[in-house]
Structure 1
Amino acid sequence: MARKPLPKNAETDVIVTSRRRCCICFGLNRDTGIKGGQIAHLDKNNSNHAISNLAFLCFDHHDEYDSISSQRKNLTIGEVKKFRDELYTTINKAFTQQVHFGEITTPPSDPYAGSWIRIGSINNSAEITLTPLPDTIDGLVQYYVSGQALWGAHREYGPNMGFLGYVGIKAEGEERIYPSKSWAYGEDNCRIILDFADINEAIVRDKSPTGTYGANVSFDGSYRRER
Protein backbone atom coordinates (compact mmCIF):
# COMPACT_ATOMS: atom_id res chain seq x y z
CA MET A 1 0.00 0.00 0.00
CA ALA A 2 1.42 3.36 -1.02
CA ARG A 3 2.46 5.71 1.76
CA LYS A 4 0.15 8.72 2.05
CA PRO A 5 2.06 11.97 1.60
CA LEU A 6 2.12 14.51 4.40
CA PRO A 7 -0.57 17.15 3.75
CA LYS A 8 0.93 20.45 2.61
CA ASN A 9 -0.83 22.45 5.33
CA ALA A 10 0.64 20.19 8.03
CA GLU A 11 4.09 20.41 6.45
CA THR A 12 3.89 24.19 6.31
CA ASP A 13 2.66 24.42 9.90
CA VAL A 14 5.58 22.38 11.27
CA ILE A 15 8.25 24.12 9.18
CA VAL A 16 7.01 27.62 10.01
CA THR A 17 6.49 26.92 13.71
CA SER A 18 9.93 25.32 14.08
CA ARG A 19 11.62 27.86 11.76
CA ARG A 20 13.60 24.83 10.53
CA ARG A 21 15.20 24.30 13.94
CA CYS A 22 15.68 20.70 15.10
CA CYS A 23 13.95 20.20 18.44
CA ILE A 24 16.39 17.47 19.53
CA CYS A 25 19.39 19.71 18.79
CA PHE A 26 17.68 22.36 20.89
CA GLY A 27 16.60 20.03 23.68
CA LEU A 28 20.01 18.41 24.14
CA ASN A 29 22.40 21.24 23.31
CA ARG A 30 20.34 24.45 23.10
CA ASP A 31 21.41 24.57 19.46
CA THR A 32 19.15 27.09 17.70
CA GLY A 33 20.82 26.93 14.29
CA ILE A 34 18.79 26.47 11.10
CA LYS A 35 19.15 22.89 9.85
CA GLY A 36 18.45 20.80 6.81
CA GLY A 37 16.10 18.07 7.88
CA GLN A 38 12.83 16.17 7.64
CA ILE A 39 9.48 16.06 9.38
CA ALA A 40 9.24 13.04 11.65
CA HIS A 41 6.12 11.12 12.66
CA LEU A 42 6.87 10.74 16.35
CA ASP A 43 4.70 7.65 16.87
CA LYS A 44 6.37 6.20 13.73
CA ASN A 45 2.96 5.81 12.10
CA ASN A 46 3.39 7.53 8.75
CA SER A 47 -0.36 7.87 8.28
CA ASN A 48 -0.85 9.83 11.52
CA HIS A 49 -0.49 13.41 10.29
CA ALA A 50 -1.78 15.09 13.46
CA ILE A 51 0.28 18.19 14.24
CA SER A 52 0.89 16.85 17.76
CA ASN A 53 2.58 13.83 16.16
CA LEU A 54 4.97 15.81 13.93
CA ALA A 55 8.34 17.45 14.56
CA PHE A 56 11.08 18.91 12.39
CA LEU A 57 14.36 17.02 12.95
CA CYS A 58 17.78 17.44 11.38
CA PHE A 59 18.90 14.53 9.20
CA ASP A 60 21.16 13.04 11.88
CA HIS A 61 18.55 13.13 14.62
CA HIS A 62 15.82 11.91 12.26
CA ASP A 63 17.94 8.85 11.50
CA GLU A 64 18.76 8.39 15.18
CA TYR A 65 15.12 8.66 16.23
CA ASP A 66 14.03 6.09 13.65
CA SER A 67 16.79 3.64 14.54
CA ILE A 68 16.67 0.95 17.22
CA SER A 69 19.77 0.23 19.27
CA SER A 70 20.32 -2.49 21.83
CA GLN A 71 23.50 -0.79 23.04
CA ARG A 72 21.99 2.42 24.40
CA LYS A 73 18.72 4.01 25.45
CA ASN A 74 16.83 5.29 22.42
CA LEU A 75 15.19 8.70 22.26
CA THR A 76 11.60 8.44 23.50
CA ILE A 77 8.50 10.03 22.02
CA GLY A 78 7.79 11.83 25.30
CA GLU A 79 11.32 13.20 25.40
CA VAL A 80 11.17 14.54 21.83
CA LYS A 81 7.71 16.07 22.34
CA LYS A 82 9.02 17.88 25.41
CA PHE A 83 11.99 19.20 23.43
CA ARG A 84 9.63 20.30 20.65
CA ASP A 85 7.37 22.19 23.06
CA GLU A 86 10.38 23.92 24.66
CA LEU A 87 11.65 24.92 21.20
CA TYR A 88 8.27 26.27 20.09
CA THR A 89 7.94 28.34 23.27
CA THR A 90 11.42 29.80 22.82
CA ILE A 91 10.89 30.57 19.13
CA ASN A 92 7.54 32.19 19.82
CA LYS A 93 9.10 34.52 22.39
CA ALA A 94 12.04 35.37 20.13
CA PHE A 95 9.97 36.01 17.00
CA THR A 96 7.27 38.08 18.69
CA GLN A 97 9.74 40.67 19.93
CA GLN A 98 9.49 44.07 18.30
CA VAL A 99 11.70 44.49 15.26
CA HIS A 100 13.33 47.81 14.44
CA PHE A 101 13.65 48.48 10.71
CA GLY A 102 16.32 50.65 9.21
CA GLU A 103 19.47 51.93 10.84
CA ILE A 104 19.24 52.88 14.49
CA THR A 105 21.69 55.45 15.71
CA THR A 106 22.44 56.13 19.33
CA PRO A 107 22.65 59.82 20.17
CA PRO A 108 26.02 60.66 21.76
CA SER A 109 24.18 62.27 24.67
CA ASP A 110 22.12 59.16 25.49
CA PRO A 111 23.65 57.81 28.70
CA TYR A 112 22.00 54.38 28.70
CA ALA A 113 21.62 53.08 25.13
CA GLY A 114 23.74 50.12 24.09
CA SER A 115 24.64 46.68 25.39
CA TRP A 116 24.98 45.77 29.06
CA ILE A 117 26.75 42.57 30.16
CA ARG A 118 26.14 40.80 33.47
CA ILE A 119 29.37 40.57 35.45
CA GLY A 120 30.59 38.09 38.04
CA SER A 121 28.69 35.09 36.65
CA ILE A 122 30.55 32.70 34.36
CA ASN A 123 27.95 29.94 34.07
CA ASN A 124 24.91 32.21 34.09
CA SER A 125 25.75 34.89 31.55
CA ALA A 126 23.29 37.57 30.44
CA GLU A 127 23.19 40.55 28.12
CA ILE A 128 20.64 43.36 27.92
CA THR A 129 20.41 45.89 25.09
CA LEU A 130 18.70 49.28 25.40
CA THR A 131 17.53 50.79 22.11
CA PRO A 132 16.15 54.36 22.14
CA LEU A 133 12.54 54.83 21.05
CA PRO A 134 10.58 58.04 20.44
CA ASP A 135 9.39 59.70 23.64
CA THR A 136 5.83 59.08 24.81
CA ILE A 137 3.14 61.69 24.19
CA ASP A 138 3.73 62.72 27.80
CA GLY A 139 7.40 63.36 27.05
CA LEU A 140 8.76 60.32 28.91
CA VAL A 141 11.95 58.72 27.60
CA GLN A 142 11.41 55.22 26.17
CA TYR A 143 13.73 52.32 25.37
CA TYR A 144 13.17 48.92 23.84
CA VAL A 145 14.76 46.54 26.34
CA SER A 146 15.85 43.22 24.87
CA GLY A 147 18.21 40.51 25.98
CA GLN A 148 18.97 36.91 26.70
CA ALA A 149 20.19 35.03 29.76
CA LEU A 150 21.54 31.55 30.44
CA TRP A 151 21.31 29.34 33.49
CA GLY A 152 23.44 26.27 34.05
CA ALA A 153 26.04 26.56 31.29
CA HIS A 154 28.10 23.98 33.20
CA ARG A 155 25.37 21.32 32.96
CA GLU A 156 25.98 18.15 30.97
CA TYR A 157 22.97 18.77 28.72
CA GLY A 158 23.57 22.47 28.26
CA PRO A 159 22.00 25.58 29.75
CA ASN A 160 18.44 26.83 29.91
CA MET A 161 18.05 29.98 27.82
CA GLY A 162 15.60 32.84 28.21
CA PHE A 163 14.75 35.88 26.11
CA LEU A 164 13.59 39.32 27.17
CA GLY A 165 11.76 42.01 25.22
CA TYR A 166 9.64 44.91 26.43
CA VAL A 167 9.22 48.68 26.21
CA GLY A 168 10.78 50.45 29.16
CA ILE A 169 10.15 53.93 30.52
CA LYS A 170 12.76 56.03 32.27
CA ALA A 171 11.34 57.21 35.56
CA GLU A 172 11.16 61.01 35.58
CA GLY A 173 13.83 62.45 37.83
CA GLU A 174 15.33 59.01 38.57
CA GLU A 175 18.13 56.91 37.11
CA ARG A 176 15.75 54.00 36.56
CA ILE A 177 14.00 52.18 33.71
CA TYR A 178 10.88 50.11 34.37
CA PRO A 179 8.27 48.32 32.17
CA SER A 180 5.91 50.67 30.35
CA LYS A 181 2.96 49.01 32.04
CA SER A 182 2.60 48.93 35.80
CA TRP A 183 4.98 46.99 38.05
CA ALA A 184 2.24 44.47 38.80
CA TYR A 185 1.11 44.03 35.20
CA GLY A 186 4.21 44.38 33.06
CA GLU A 187 4.40 43.12 29.50
CA ASP A 188 4.43 39.31 29.42
CA ASN A 189 4.68 39.28 33.25
CA CYS A 190 7.91 41.26 32.96
CA ARG A 191 8.87 42.77 36.31
CA ILE A 192 12.38 43.93 35.64
CA ILE A 193 13.76 47.26 36.82
CA LEU A 194 17.14 48.70 35.86
CA ASP A 195 18.82 51.06 38.32
CA PHE A 196 21.89 52.95 37.10
CA ALA A 197 24.77 53.70 39.45
CA ASP A 198 26.39 55.69 36.63
CA ILE A 199 26.56 55.59 32.83
CA ASN A 200 28.61 52.38 32.91
CA GLU A 201 27.14 50.36 35.78
CA ALA A 202 23.61 49.13 36.43
CA ILE A 203 21.77 46.86 38.84
CA VAL A 204 18.96 44.73 37.42
CA ARG A 205 16.21 43.57 39.76
CA ASP A 206 14.17 40.75 38.27
CA LYS A 207 10.94 40.13 40.17
CA SER A 208 9.21 38.34 37.30
CA PRO A 209 7.24 35.19 38.21
CA THR A 210 9.32 32.02 38.37
CA GLY A 211 9.66 30.46 34.94
CA THR A 212 8.82 33.61 32.97
CA TYR A 213 12.02 33.26 30.94
CA GLY A 214 12.62 29.53 31.38
CA ALA A 215 13.48 27.24 34.29
CA ASN A 216 15.82 29.03 36.73
CA VAL A 217 16.62 31.76 34.18
CA SER A 218 16.82 35.24 35.70
CA PHE A 219 18.22 38.62 34.67
CA ASP A 220 19.11 39.63 38.25
CA GLY A 221 22.57 41.02 38.84
CA SER A 222 25.16 43.70 38.24
CA TYR A 223 25.80 44.84 34.68
CA ARG A 224 28.53 46.80 32.97
CA ARG A 225 28.02 48.78 29.80
CA GLU A 226 29.87 47.43 26.78
CA ARG A 227 31.45 50.12 24.65
Structure 2
Amino acid sequence: MDARATASATTLEPGSVRRFLLENPEILTEDADLMAELGLKAVPPNVVEFVPAALARVHEAHRRESDARRRLEETARENFYAQAQTHGAVIDLLEARNHADLARRVDELAQMRFGLVGGVIALEGPDRTPAGWRTLVEGQVDLILGGSQELTFMGFAPPAVGLFGERRDQVFSMAMIRMAMWEPARQGLIAFASSDPEGFTPDMGHELVSFLARVVERTAERWPVL
Protein backbone atom coordinates (compact mmCIF):
# COMPACT_ATOMS: atom_id res chain seq x y z
CA MET A 1 0.00 0.00 0.00
CA ASP A 2 1.54 3.39 -1.02
CA ALA A 3 1.60 6.54 1.12
CA ARG A 4 -1.65 8.05 -0.26
CA ALA A 5 -3.49 4.80 0.27
CA THR A 6 -2.20 4.72 3.83
CA ALA A 7 -3.47 8.28 4.35
CA SER A 8 -6.94 7.44 3.08
CA ALA A 9 -7.11 4.44 5.36
CA THR A 10 -6.10 6.49 8.40
CA THR A 11 -8.68 8.33 10.48
CA LEU A 12 -8.23 12.07 9.81
CA GLU A 13 -7.45 13.11 13.35
CA PRO A 14 -4.85 15.87 13.99
CA GLY A 15 -2.45 13.44 15.61
CA SER A 16 -2.79 10.94 12.77
CA VAL A 17 -2.30 13.64 10.12
CA ARG A 18 0.80 14.95 11.92
CA ARG A 19 2.36 11.49 12.18
CA PHE A 20 1.59 10.83 8.52
CA LEU A 21 3.27 14.08 7.40
CA LEU A 22 6.32 13.41 9.56
CA GLU A 23 6.65 9.97 7.96
CA ASN A 24 5.97 11.27 4.46
CA PRO A 25 7.27 14.90 4.28
CA GLU A 26 7.51 14.75 0.50
CA ILE A 27 3.71 15.03 0.33
CA LEU A 28 4.26 18.71 1.24
CA THR A 29 7.79 19.48 0.11
CA GLU A 30 7.25 18.17 -3.43
CA ASP A 31 3.95 19.98 -3.94
CA ALA A 32 4.90 23.61 -4.68
CA ASP A 33 1.30 24.79 -5.04
CA LEU A 34 0.28 23.35 -1.69
CA MET A 35 3.35 24.86 0.00
CA ALA A 36 2.50 28.26 -1.48
CA GLU A 37 -1.12 28.07 -0.28
CA LEU A 38 0.06 27.18 3.22
CA GLY A 39 2.59 30.05 3.22
CA LEU A 40 5.53 27.67 3.67
CA LYS A 41 8.94 27.58 2.03
CA ALA A 42 11.15 24.54 1.61
CA VAL A 43 14.76 25.04 2.71
CA PRO A 44 17.60 22.64 1.89
CA PRO A 45 18.72 20.68 4.96
CA ASN A 46 22.19 22.20 4.84
CA VAL A 47 20.90 25.80 4.86
CA VAL A 48 20.26 27.73 8.08
CA GLU A 49 17.08 29.81 7.88
CA PHE A 50 17.80 33.28 9.28
CA VAL A 51 14.53 34.96 8.34
CA PRO A 52 12.51 34.22 11.54
CA ALA A 53 15.41 35.28 13.76
CA ALA A 54 15.98 38.43 11.71
CA LEU A 55 12.30 39.32 11.86
CA ALA A 56 12.30 38.77 15.61
CA ARG A 57 15.27 41.15 15.98
CA VAL A 58 13.58 43.78 13.83
CA HIS A 59 10.38 43.48 15.88
CA GLU A 60 12.28 43.82 19.16
CA ALA A 61 14.22 46.83 17.87
CA HIS A 62 10.98 48.46 16.76
CA ARG A 63 9.42 47.79 20.17
CA ARG A 64 12.38 49.37 21.97
CA GLU A 65 12.31 52.36 19.64
CA SER A 66 8.57 52.80 20.19
CA ASP A 67 9.00 52.58 23.98
CA ALA A 68 11.82 55.14 23.93
CA ARG A 69 9.84 57.51 21.72
CA ARG A 70 6.80 57.19 23.98
CA ARG A 71 8.90 57.98 27.07
CA LEU A 72 10.40 61.03 25.35
CA GLU A 73 6.96 62.25 24.33
CA GLU A 74 5.62 61.77 27.87
CA THR A 75 8.61 63.64 29.33
CA ALA A 76 8.16 66.48 26.84
CA ARG A 77 4.47 66.79 27.69
CA GLU A 78 5.22 66.79 31.43
CA ASN A 79 7.93 69.44 31.01
CA PHE A 80 5.65 71.61 28.90
CA TYR A 81 2.87 71.31 31.48
CA ALA A 82 5.27 72.14 34.34
CA GLN A 83 6.59 75.20 32.50
CA ALA A 84 3.08 76.43 31.71
CA GLN A 85 2.04 76.01 35.35
CA THR A 86 5.19 77.77 36.53
CA HIS A 87 4.57 80.76 34.28
CA GLY A 88 1.02 80.99 35.61
CA ALA A 89 2.34 80.73 39.16
CA VAL A 90 4.73 83.64 38.57
CA ILE A 91 1.84 85.86 37.54
CA ASP A 92 -0.05 84.86 40.69
CA LEU A 93 2.96 85.68 42.89
CA LEU A 94 3.57 89.06 41.29
CA GLU A 95 -0.01 90.06 42.12
CA ALA A 96 0.60 89.58 45.88
CA ARG A 97 -0.38 92.62 47.98
CA ASN A 98 1.81 91.98 51.05
CA HIS A 99 3.95 89.32 52.75
CA ALA A 100 0.99 87.41 54.15
CA ASP A 101 -0.72 87.37 50.75
CA LEU A 102 2.53 86.16 49.15
CA ALA A 103 2.77 83.23 51.59
CA ARG A 104 -0.88 82.34 50.96
CA ARG A 105 -0.34 82.37 47.21
CA VAL A 106 2.73 80.13 47.49
CA ASP A 107 0.72 77.57 49.43
CA GLU A 108 -2.29 77.77 47.10
CA LEU A 109 -0.30 77.45 43.88
CA ALA A 110 1.54 74.44 45.33
CA GLN A 111 -1.77 72.70 45.96
CA MET A 112 -3.90 73.92 43.06
CA ARG A 113 -1.37 74.16 40.24
CA PHE A 114 1.04 71.38 41.11
CA GLY A 115 -1.05 68.96 43.20
CA LEU A 116 1.33 69.15 46.18
CA VAL A 117 0.73 68.98 49.91
CA GLY A 118 1.65 72.65 50.18
CA GLY A 119 4.29 75.34 49.99
CA VAL A 120 5.80 77.53 52.71
CA ILE A 121 8.18 80.46 53.06
CA ALA A 122 10.49 80.41 56.08
CA LEU A 123 12.83 83.10 57.43
CA GLU A 124 15.54 83.05 60.08
CA GLY A 125 15.32 85.35 63.12
CA PRO A 126 15.93 86.93 65.53
CA ASP A 127 14.14 89.87 63.93
CA ARG A 128 10.44 89.94 63.20
CA THR A 129 9.07 87.40 60.69
CA PRO A 130 6.35 88.47 58.22
CA ALA A 131 2.81 87.26 58.88
CA GLY A 132 2.11 83.86 57.36
CA TRP A 133 5.81 82.91 57.15
CA ARG A 134 7.51 80.21 59.25
CA THR A 135 10.05 81.44 61.78
CA LEU A 136 13.46 79.73 61.95
CA VAL A 137 16.31 80.20 64.40
CA GLU A 138 19.63 81.43 63.05
CA GLY A 139 21.51 78.65 61.26
CA GLN A 140 18.41 76.51 60.81
CA VAL A 141 18.39 76.94 57.01
CA ASP A 142 21.84 75.30 56.88
CA LEU A 143 20.60 72.46 59.06
CA ILE A 144 17.50 71.86 56.95
CA LEU A 145 19.38 71.96 53.65
CA GLY A 146 22.06 69.59 54.90
CA GLY A 147 25.08 71.87 54.74
CA SER A 148 26.12 75.52 54.76
CA GLN A 149 26.97 75.49 51.03
CA GLU A 150 23.76 73.87 49.82
CA LEU A 151 21.42 76.07 47.79
CA THR A 152 18.83 73.43 46.96
CA PHE A 153 17.49 70.18 48.31
CA MET A 154 15.36 67.56 46.54
CA GLY A 155 14.25 64.48 48.48
CA PHE A 156 13.18 63.85 52.06
CA ALA A 157 14.67 65.83 54.95
CA PRO A 158 13.25 64.97 58.40
CA PRO A 159 14.27 68.38 59.89
CA ALA A 160 11.99 70.11 57.35
CA VAL A 161 8.80 68.17 58.09
CA GLY A 162 7.79 70.60 60.83
CA LEU A 163 7.62 73.45 58.30
CA PHE A 164 4.32 72.05 57.06
CA GLY A 165 2.54 72.16 60.41
CA GLU A 166 -0.59 70.04 60.66
CA ARG A 167 0.10 68.56 57.21
CA ARG A 168 3.43 67.08 58.29
CA ASP A 169 2.08 63.50 58.22
CA GLN A 170 1.36 63.86 54.49
CA VAL A 171 4.92 64.88 53.61
CA PHE A 172 7.15 62.23 52.00
CA SER A 173 9.43 64.34 49.79
CA MET A 174 10.37 68.01 49.49
CA ALA A 175 11.88 70.56 47.16
CA MET A 176 13.61 73.40 49.02
CA ILE A 177 15.55 76.43 47.79
CA ARG A 178 17.66 78.82 49.88
CA MET A 179 16.74 82.50 49.69
CA ALA A 180 18.30 85.75 50.91
CA MET A 181 16.23 88.92 51.23
CA TRP A 182 16.66 92.59 52.16
CA GLU A 183 19.76 94.45 53.26
CA PRO A 184 21.44 93.29 55.37
CA ALA A 185 20.46 89.91 53.97
CA ARG A 186 18.30 87.58 56.01
CA GLN A 187 18.46 83.86 55.25
CA GLY A 188 15.32 81.99 54.37
CA LEU A 189 13.96 79.26 52.17
CA ILE A 190 10.93 78.25 50.17
CA ALA A 191 9.77 74.65 50.52
CA PHE A 192 7.29 72.53 48.60
CA ALA A 193 6.07 69.18 49.91
CA SER A 194 4.74 66.12 48.06
CA SER A 195 2.82 63.14 49.43
CA ASP A 196 4.67 60.96 46.91
CA PRO A 197 8.12 59.65 47.99
CA GLU A 198 9.14 59.98 44.33
CA GLY A 199 7.60 63.43 43.98
CA PHE A 200 10.99 65.08 44.52
CA THR A 201 14.21 63.08 44.21
CA PRO A 202 17.89 64.10 44.21
CA ASP A 203 18.28 63.28 40.51
CA MET A 204 15.55 65.70 39.44
CA GLY A 205 16.28 69.10 37.95
CA HIS A 206 15.41 72.04 40.19
CA GLU A 207 15.41 74.86 37.65
CA LEU A 208 11.69 75.63 37.80
CA VAL A 209 11.60 75.53 41.62
CA SER A 210 14.67 77.78 41.77
CA PHE A 211 12.99 80.19 39.37
CA LEU A 212 9.95 80.41 41.65
CA ALA A 213 12.25 81.03 44.61
CA ARG A 214 13.90 83.97 42.85
CA VAL A 215 10.47 85.44 42.04
CA VAL A 216 9.43 85.11 45.70
CA GLU A 217 12.68 86.79 46.81
CA ARG A 218 12.21 89.80 44.57
CA THR A 219 8.51 90.08 45.34
CA ALA A 220 9.07 89.94 49.11
CA GLU A 221 11.60 92.79 48.91
CA ARG A 222 8.86 95.16 47.75
CA TRP A 223 7.78 95.63 51.34
CA PRO A 224 9.70 96.11 54.60
CA VAL A 225 9.19 93.67 57.46
CA LEU A 226 6.98 95.56 59.90
Q: Under TM normalisation by the shorter chain, which class is it? A: under 0.3
- With normalisation by structure 2, the TM-score equals 0.28
Question: Which one has more relative contact order, counting CA pairs under 8 Å at least 6 apart?
Answer: 2
Structure (1/2) with the larger strand percentage:
1
Please tell me whether Structure 1 or Structure 2 has the larger radius of gyration of its CA atoms. 2
